[in-house]
């Protein structure tokens, strides 16, 4: 099955918890704290696999989580780092944040990677908190939770040449003639339900990739027929070949077909209208083709190169293929990917914000939420440390300014507290 869209949930591995331990060895007097740090959680990484052609694997499994870090141990032994989770995607996959729509990565090159969910750092063991004043700390940090998000994956096939045109114009027959692709070919509309890729070899050492885009009809840009779903695959092609049923064997006018399809391309993406295009006047072996070819040349000959062909028996396809190869040699190299790794948007944001929702005071902010998540709330010494952090950050004063009173509920991240004076 051909799947070119998917929505998945990814989460980096949580960091391992720090350890509370003390050295008690026969010949080590006053050994002191010896709790090791937890290991960092693994990242979720998308990696381009040139052997893949669809996103079908993501239709059956939607949730992915990397391995968490190992907890710290006694004798100052740190926990092992969690294994990264590598998800393989086909070339041409665009990755977006489902919540914001921001493009995170555009994965094009074989082996290209993008970290889409980072693992949390490991919590520090009690050995890290020893000071001259507190020589035997009994607190350690919990591991930081890994990043989590929903992603939208969209595949845009990587092809040098794209075949466009009305259903039954002969696109599948043409790609089957000039390459090793073997799409289904029949005499009814919309025989081609998914795009097909084929490698066209032009002499020794020259080749290019051709894509057969399912037939477009009027209104395709707005969702009519199959065109809206597959028009995205024309966006990466460098040259378009407009395949026309020049004999009008389906009862349509070839010139009218040409105008309709070009209009749909422009309405979907204005850049497509400026893309280099040649016209393949197909089905020259049928009655009426010669007369329509003259009309076509009179109307479009000064704007487009027109190649009369018969995809069924291969007549005229060689000049078309060689011309496409020459055009590709003359065009600039494809633009590089939008992003190879996650874009880091550095925005000045407050350390925390306080709002009131349904009688609950909600505190939000990455820094304060991380402090709370990494605090062992069942450890009295750790809670005291969190209270000092909250006081230094000015959160207590902010809550008072927001109108908090003793006994009110305060929510920070996933945790709720009762405010006490």
129 is in an annotated binding site: no
| CB contact set of 222 (below 8 Å; sequence gap of 6+) | 228, 267
134 is in an annotated binding site: no
172 is in an annotated binding site: yes
170 is in an annotated binding site: yes
194 is in an annotated binding site: yes
Token pair for 244: 């026309």
73 is in an annotated binding site: no
215 is in an annotated binding site: yes
283 is in an annotated binding site: yes
193 is in an annotated binding site: yes
179 is in an annotated binding site: no
| CB contact set of 257 (below 8 Å; sequence gap of 6+) | 165, 166, 169, 244, 245
What is 186-249 written as a DSSP string? -SSTT---S-EEEEEE-STT-EEEEEEPPPP-TTGGGT-TTHHHHGGGGTT-SEEEEEEETT-T
49 is in an annotated binding site: no
31 is in an annotated binding site: no
365 is in an annotated binding site: no
87 is in an annotated binding site: no
191 is in an annotated binding site: yes
Beta strands in 90-224 (DSSP E): 93-97, 103-107, 113-117, 148-155, 161-164, 196-201, 207-212
Residue 228 and residue 220: Cα distance in Å, rounded? 5
171 is in an annotated binding site: yes
What angle (nearest 5°) sits at the alpha carbon of residue 357, between those of residues 351 and 359? 115
166 is in an annotated binding site: yes
Residue 114 and residue 93: Cα distance in Å, rounded? 11
217 is in an annotated binding site: no
Residues annotated within the binding site are: 165-172, 190-194, 212-215, 282-285, 310-312
Residues annotated within the binding site for Mg(2+) are: 172, 192
Residues annotated within the binding site for GTP are: 165-172, 190-194, 212-215, 282-285, 310-312
């Amino acid at each position: 099955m051909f799947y070119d869209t998917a929505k998945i949930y990814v989460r980096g591995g949580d960091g391992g918890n720090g350890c509370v331990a003390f050295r008690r060895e026969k010949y080590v007097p006053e050994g002191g704290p010896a709790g090791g740090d937890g290991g960092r959680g693994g990242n979720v990484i998308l990696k381009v696999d040139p052997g893949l052609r669809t996103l079908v694997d993501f239709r059956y499994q939607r949730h992915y989580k990397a391995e968490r870090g190992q907890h710290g141990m006694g004798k100052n032994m740190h926990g092992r780092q969690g294994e990264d989770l590598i998800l393989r995607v086909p070339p041409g996959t665009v990755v977006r944040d489902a919540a914001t729509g921001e493009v995170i990565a555009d994965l094009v090159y074989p082996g290209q990677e993008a970290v889409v969910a980072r693992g949390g750092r490991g919590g520090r063991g009690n050995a890290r908190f020893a000071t001259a004043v507190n020589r035997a700390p009994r607190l350690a940090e919990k591991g930081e939770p890994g990043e989590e998000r929903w992603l939208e994956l969209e595949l845009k096939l990587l092809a040098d040449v794209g075949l466009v045109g009305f259903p039954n114009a002969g696109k599948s027959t043409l790609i089957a003639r000039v390459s090793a692709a073997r799409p289904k070919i029949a005499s009814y509309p919309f025989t081609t339900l998914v795009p097909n890729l084929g490698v066209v070899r032009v002499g020794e050492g020259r080749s290019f990739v051709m894509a057969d885009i399912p037939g477009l009809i009027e209104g395709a840009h707005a969702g009519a027929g199959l065109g809206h779903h597959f028009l995205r695959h024309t966006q990466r092609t460098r040259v378009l070949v407009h395949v026309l049923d020049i004999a009008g064997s389906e009862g349509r006018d070839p010139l009218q077909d040409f105008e309709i399809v070009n209009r749909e391309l422009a309405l979907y993406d204005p850049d497509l209208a400026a893309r280099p295009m040649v016209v393949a006047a197909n089905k020259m072996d049928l009655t009426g083709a010669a007369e329509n070819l003259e009309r076509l040349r009179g109307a479009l000959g000064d704007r487009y190169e027109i190649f009369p062909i018969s995809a069924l028996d291969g007549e005229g396809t060689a000049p078309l293929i060689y011309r496409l190869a020459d055009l590709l040699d003359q065009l600039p190299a494809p633009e590089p990917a939008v992003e190879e790794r996650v874009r880091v948007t550095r925005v000045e944001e407050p350390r925390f914000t306080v709002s009131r929702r349904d009688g609950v005071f909600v505190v939000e902010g990455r820094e304060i939420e991380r402090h709370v998540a990494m605090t062992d709330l069942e450890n009295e010494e750790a809670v005291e440390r969190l209270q000092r952090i909250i006081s230094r950050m000015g959160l207590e004063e902010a809550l008072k300014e927001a109108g908090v009173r003793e006994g009110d509920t305060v929510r920070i991240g996933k945790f709720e507290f009762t405010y006490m004076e």
